[in-house]
Amino acid sequence: MKKSPLAPDTIVELPEISGVILGTAATHMKYKNRDDLLLVLFPEGATVAGVLTKSKCSSAPVDQCKANLKSGKMAKALLVNAGNSNAFTGQAGIDAMTSNIDLVCKIASCVLDEVYVASTGVIGELLKAELINKKLEEGIKVEKDNWQQASDAILTTDTFPKLSTKQAKIGDKLVTINGFAKGSGMIAPDMATMLGFIFTDAALDQAVLQALLSSENDKSFNSITVDSDMSTSDTVLAFATGKNDKICDVRDPILDDFKEKLSELMLDLSHQIVRDGEGATKFITIKVSGAENDGSAKKIAMSIANSPLVKTAIAGEDANWGRIVMAVGKAGERANRDALMITIGNQKVTDRGMRVNGYDEDLCTQHFQGNEIDIKVDVGVGEGEATVWTCDLTHDYISINADYRS
């Protein structure tokens, strides 16, 4: 599969996180020439937080993670496989997953609800637990600097690994935040066929870590879309292994720099997912302002971002801005037609409910011919605003998904 034209020029090297060790293996469950299994082990006392799919058909691993998070226990291990999502597989899928977890418990000297699991791939096919168990029994070599291999092992239709790292100050301590993610298709708000894993050597109470992750997730992973399809398996987990004195209040100003760097890292990873959208050739930023509230602005922005007509017009470099008007109107949110203002790139297109005098379509077309597209819409009813990110919809998207299982 050819690499996305929107891929970053270089792959970021991630530093060590104290106590975190990672290992990968090839089960050959779906992929023949690459690793597709990831095992991460954590030191005693690692806290964990998670945000998981809202799909009513969630996978067995998602349900297991939700149960683990409710238990409030620490995390000792993370097991991820690519190529099979273990979703819609009934009790057999649960049994398969549990057999994998039982072996991880022996490796990590822990109990079931201290092991987090994630799976990504085809829905409805029974997980071949014996292939995973074979690798676990043989022994997966875990090391502290396996970040690149770890990121590679969880990919499916992705064309490049997605990694990011930041350093932040908590008081007088410098802490590290590492993250990697996968995702290319079935990407939509409320998570997606997207797995994201974040690791920090900060010492954060579980409630604090959860509050930080949930807040930043809404502004990053929950603000992207490739194709509007919500997955059964989407998972973002954050693990904190402890370096500073444990922070127990999310409002503590000592966390300000950490919050900022966590936000930057999650935005970076989510943007990389959009840049690797199946068949994508253009990265699109959509900013909506003047809405009734921020939630309304986001719904309008997502209506534009998910519109096949808008996305194909951009793919074809056709400045058919009327499709943006259509997408605003169908969103079901308050908007003042007679005050609607649309800007494409630096070119104002509409104002006061109609096309502006002196509108130059060539300027909009030139903007669409680039690979970084900016669309701004003011709906003229309030102060609400939101920004979302998407990509164009090309013939390659159809080809990739039509051939996915072949």
Residues identified as active-site: 193
- Give the contacts of 323 (CB within 8 A, at least 6 positions apart): 307, 309, 310, 313
Long-range Cβ contacts of 307-313 (<8 Å, 24+ apart): 308/393, 311/284, 311/390, 311/391, 311/392, 311/393, 312/392, 312/393, 313/368
Q: Where are the strands (E) in 106-259, listed by range?
A: 115-122, 162-170, 173-182, 195-200, 235-240
| Tokens coding 103 | 């072996």
| Residue type present at position 331 | A
Q: Give the whole-angstrom CA distance, residue 138 versus residue 132.
A: 10
List helix spans (H) across 235-352: 256-275, 294-305, 308-315, 322-330
| Residue type present at position 95 | D
Residue 403 burial by Cβ neighbours in a 10 Å radius (0-12, 13-18, 19+): exposed
Cα 255-256-260 angle, rounded to 5 deg:
115
| Tokens coding 34 | 């690459």
Q: How far is CA 100 from the centre of its chain?
A: 25
The strand pairing partners of 326, in sequence order, are none
Residue linked to tokens 């074809």: 316
Buried b (16+ CB within 10 A) or exposed e, 270-284: bbbbbbbbbbbbbbb
List helix spans (H) across 276-394: 294-305, 308-315, 322-330, 361-368
Residue linked to tokens 């996968």: 182
Cα 54-79-107 angle, rounded to 5 deg:
145
Q: Give the whole-angstrom CA distance, residue 203 versus residue 216.
A: 18
